[in-house]
Structure 1
Amino acid sequence: MEPDSPRVVTQQDLEAAEGTPGITRKVAFQTDNNTLVQAHVDGGVSSGWHHHGDRHVYAHLVEGEAVIEYGPGGNERLEVEAGGFFHLPPRVVHRDVNPIDEPQRWIISFVGTGVLVENVDGPSPETSA
C-alpha cells in the first residue's frame, strides 16, 4: 500500500514497540517524525523510570486513571482521568503510575526523531532530566 494512501489499522495489525517495565506499547502508525501507539498499563502497576529522548509526548487516556511522576526526585506529578490529555517535553524522566485496580489504555503520539524510549534508573534529585 502506498504510504500516502488512507488506511485502517485493526487491533490485530498493531506491532509491538520498544518497552518499559510495566507498559505494553503497540505501534499503529509510524513516519519519520511521528509514532502513534496504543499503550496499556495493568491495574496497580508503576512503570519503570524512562524518557522519550528528543521526542515530544502527546497522550490521551482512553480509560482508567493515571499519575505521571516526574521532576526532581520524582516528586512532581500530573493526574489524568479518562478522557484527559497531557504533554511531556523531550527528555523529561518520568514514570506512569496506575493508582487503581483497573487497566489504563492510552493513545500516544511521539513527535520527533530518535529513540522511542530510554529506560533509566530514575530522575536526578536536582533536575527532571
Structure 2
Amino acid sequence: MRGRAMTSEPRVSRISPGDRRAGQLTPGMTREEAVSADGLWAGLVTTDAGATSGWHHHGAYETAIYVVDGVFLIQFGAGGSDAIEARGGDFLHVPRGVVHRETNPGAEPSHVVVARSGHGEPVKNVDGPA
C-alpha cells in the first residue's frame, strides 16, 4: 500500500491528493485510487456535469459510496429501469455484481468517496444490464 513506510509493524498512513493514482477507467468517470490493500479499495470518483458512465459492476466487491457534492444518479435493474438520485451527504450501497451506471444530471461535477470490500478485479465494464 502506498504512503506506508517499510517497517515490521503496521502503521497508519495518509494519502494526500497528489499521492492518489489513476484508477480503472469507465467511460464518463474518473477514478482516483487512494487505498488498495488486501480485500479493500478506496478512492475518489468524479463524474463531470452531464456525463453518464458506461455500464459496469464490481465483481465480488461490496461497494459503499458517500456523495461529497453534486448530483449522483445511479441506474440499475432489468434494462437499467431502476434509478436512485443521491446528493451531498447521502450514502449508497451497491451489492456485489450489480450492473449499474452513474449519471450526473447537475450543472457541476459530482464527487463521491468509494470504499469497496472484496476480492478480484474491482471494476468490470459490460455492455449493459440483463
Match in the other structure for 1:101 = 107
Structure 2 unaligned runs (5+)? Answer: none
Tell me the secondary structure at the aligned position of residue 6 of structure 1. Answer: coil
Give the superposition deviation at 1:110: 1.1
Tell me the secondary structure at the aligned position of residue 53 of structure 1. Answer: coil
Q: 2:117 aligns with which of 111, 118, 122?
A: 111
Match in the other structure for 1:47 = 53
Indicate the percent of aligned positions where both proteins have the same amino acid. 36
Q: 1:60 aligns with which of 62, 66, 73?
A: 66
Cα separation, 2, equivalents of 1:54 and 1:123 = 17
Tell me the secondary structure at the aligned position of residue 85 of structure 2. Answer: strand
Q: 2:27 aligns with which of 21, 29, 41?
A: 21
Match in the other structure for 2:11 = 5
Cα separation, 2, equivalents of 1:104 and 1:59 = 12
Structure 1 unaligned runs (5+)? Answer: 125-129
Tell me the secondary structure at the aligned position of residue 59 of structure 2. Answer: coil
Q: CA RMSD in A?
A: 1.0
- Give the counterpart letter for 1:26 in structure 2: E
- Give the counterpart letter for 2:15 in structure 1: V
The two structures have a TM-score, normalised by structure 1, of 0.93
Give the superposition deviation at 1:113: 0.4
Give the superposition deviation at 1:24: 0.6
Cα separation, 1, equivalents of 2:10 and 2:50 = 40
Aligned length: 124
Cα separation, 2, equivalents of 1:67 and 1:8 = 30
Give the superposition deviation at 1:78: 1.2
> 1:71-123: CA deviations, max 9, x gaps?
00100011101110000101100000101120010100011001110001100
The two structures have a TM-score, normalised by structure 2, of 0.92
